[in-house]
Chain A
């Protein structure tokens, strides 16, 4: 999958003052399976992911995915979003629905698949992700790891062209983190391209084909994962890796 960014900027208002999350970001990348966005907190990783997810638009600049411009009008953006799967840090399941209903909702309401067929497809995916026993439970009855797997099932069910993960294990304890990371690693085999924001540097190193390193609103480095970890070019990346890999 090819990703091209041209002078992408994005600011937020926080406390009445604009905060620059992305500053004139330009980079090209081409990854077969997995691109990992890593870097210190507040560096712009999540903002970039939200732009790629079509949840927010850059203030200026262009984004191209496989040669097609990311749409700007809300209607087209919505159609674009329906072709993606997004997994959030806090799972963001709909608490008033069963796990099964969560997975079925996009199939029925967005993709117009008949109820019975959608149910079959949702159950099939949930079974694959080891969730067969939890289909009729509500999110409050699920553990964090189970919740995140339901969220992944919800994202996978419509057969997305691209999967986006926003710190999918940050809210989980180590055991559940392992459970979710194992699942993401398995998904790599299904050949749906994935973009992953993560603090699990060891995991990024293992699974990612390419790495983009973001700090202070800029992409400081982009390259093949193995090369990036063996020999980071930027001073910031070197310092970051030294810090997070120290223990």
Chain B
């Protein structure tokens, strides 16, 4: 084996899969080393920092759990909203179809932060919705539902027309066609991107800190303002998100692989 085989993956000379994983660990270690040198010497990384932040572990823990709760609730709700929007988009009734198009385009055309500010301070306030958490989950679900509806629509449209034809030919009602023939097949297409969307939701929920929802990011900000330990407050924050998103994205990849093999 030539020395170059340790860090090159070329057509004709493929590297073993474990080597790529090893390099991910090596590059990460290098990065960590670099960080500890640059930050270690500076004032942000001083003795006793970790002890003062450790006292607030309860705050971190509660924020982290709330982030999981918010993301999970939003995922469930956005699947419902997304399915509804996808079905309306396929409806023969034009006003319903237009409503769905408008919803998707408005949501996808504006930043999430803008939606949170607008929907919370302008809309939720005027309809008398006082519970931040409820408003937060609703806003996040609306946001994610727009993206999901496009995934669901693609999944449904990915089922060949011949499947509709034979489902109708045996006498199934339109609802039965969806229930027994179309959706089970569409779901297999949708599952991998749905897992990816869950990872996005976990990350996007951090923006809810702006309206004072005590999720993970706000918790870290509170610890920071109580201790003045920046790195010790925000490093656990980043790691806490990674601990959630990495398993989810590994799951998404595994689902995608399984789907490819079955197809």
Judged by a CB distance under 8 angstroms, whether B162 is at the interface is yes
Judged by a CB distance under 8 angstroms, whether A121 is at the interface is no
Q: Given the known inter-chain contacts A96-B184, A109-B176, A109-B180, please indicate yes or no for A55 contacting B165, CB distance below 8 A.
A: yes
Pairs A–B under 8 Å by Cβ, sample size 9: A81-B170, A84-B169, A92-B165, A92-B166, A94-B180, A96-B188, A109-B176, A110-B170, A110-B172
Contacting residue for B162 out of A79, A81, A82, A88, CB 8 A: A88
Q: How far is the CB of A126 from chain B (nearest CB, A)?
A: 16
Judged by a CB distance under 8 angstroms, whether B181 is at the interface is yes
CA distance A154 to B171 in the complex (A): 12
A92–B162 contact, CB under 8 A? Answer: yes
Residues of A contacting B172 in the complex (Cβ-Cβ under 8 angstroms)? 105-106, 109-110
- Chain A, residues 69-96, CB within 8 Å of chain B (1/0): the string is 0000000001101101010101011111
Interface centre among B165, B173, B176 (most CB of A within 10 A): B165
CA distance A95 to B166 in the complex (A): 12
Residues of A contacting B185 in the complex (Cβ-Cβ under 8 angstroms)? 94-96
Judged by a CB distance under 8 angstroms, whether B168 is at the interface is yes
Residues of B contacting A106 in the complex (Cβ-Cβ under 8 angstroms)? 170-172
Q: Given the known inter-chain contacts A55-B165, A94-B181, please indicate yes or no for A105 contacting B170, CB distance below 8 A.
A: yes
Residues of B contacting A82 in the complex (Cβ-Cβ under 8 angstroms)? 170-171
- Chain B, residues 157-188, CB within 8 Å of chain A (1/0): the string is 00000110111111111001000110011001
B163–A81 contact, CB under 8 A? Answer: no
Judged by a CB distance under 8 angstroms, whether A53 is at the interface is yes
Interface of B is mostly: helix
Residues of A contacting B181 in the complex (Cβ-Cβ under 8 angstroms)? 94
A-B pairs, top 3 by smallest CB distance, nearest first, are A82-B171, A92-B166, A106-B170
A154–B184 contact, CB under 8 A? Answer: no
B162–A90 contact, CB under 8 A? Answer: yes
Interface of A is mostly: mixed
CA distance A96 to B167 in the complex (A): 13
B→A interface (CB under 8 Å): 162-163, 165-173, 176, 180-181, 184-185, 188
Residues of A contacting B180 in the complex (Cβ-Cβ under 8 angstroms)? 94, 105, 109
- Find the B residue at minimum CB distance from A110: B171
CA distance A96 to B184 in the complex (A): 7
- Find the A residue at minimum CB distance from B171: A82
CA distance A154 to B165 in the complex (A): 14
Q: How far is the CB of A48 from chain B (nearest CB, A)?
A: 15
Interface centre among A93, A95, A105 (most CB of B within 10 A): A95
Residues of A contacting B163 in the complex (Cβ-Cβ under 8 angstroms)? 92, 94
Residues of B contacting A86 in the complex (Cβ-Cβ under 8 angstroms)? 166, 169-170
List A16-58 residues whose CB lies under 8 Å from chain B.
Answer: 53, 55
CA distance A84 to B173 in the complex (A): 15
CA distance A225 to B49 in the complex (A): 96
Contacting residue for A79 out of B167, B171, B176, CB 8 A: B171
A81–B171 contact, CB under 8 A? Answer: yes
Interface centre among A78, A79, A92 (most CB of B within 10 A): A92
CA distance A80 to B181 in the complex (A): 20
A88–B170 contact, CB under 8 A? Answer: no
- Find the B residue at minimum CB distance from A53: B169
Q: Given the known inter-chain contacts A78-B171, A109-B172, A109-B176, please indicate yes or no for A88 contacting B165, CB distance below 8 A.
A: yes
- Chain A, residues 124-155, CB within 8 Å of chain B (1/0): the string is 00000000000000000000000000000011
CA distance A86 to B169 in the complex (A): 7
Residues of B contacting A155 in the complex (Cβ-Cβ under 8 angstroms)? 170
CA distance A84 to B166 in the complex (A): 12
Contacting residue for A55 out of B168, B173, B176, CB 8 A: B168
B169–A55 contact, CB under 8 A? Answer: yes
Residues of A contacting B171 in the complex (Cβ-Cβ under 8 angstroms)? 78-79, 81-82, 106, 110
Q: How far is the CB of B197 from chain A (nearest CB, A)?
A: 22
CA distance A94 to B181 in the complex (A): 7
Residues of A contacting B165 in the complex (Cβ-Cβ under 8 angstroms)? 55, 88, 92
- Find the B residue at minimum CB distance from A101: B180
Residues of B contacting A158 in the complex (Cβ-Cβ under 8 angstroms)? 170
Q: A92-B166, A105-B170 known; 7 other A-B pairs, CB under 8 Å?
A: A79-B171, A86-B170, A88-B166, A90-B162, A96-B184, A106-B171, A110-B171
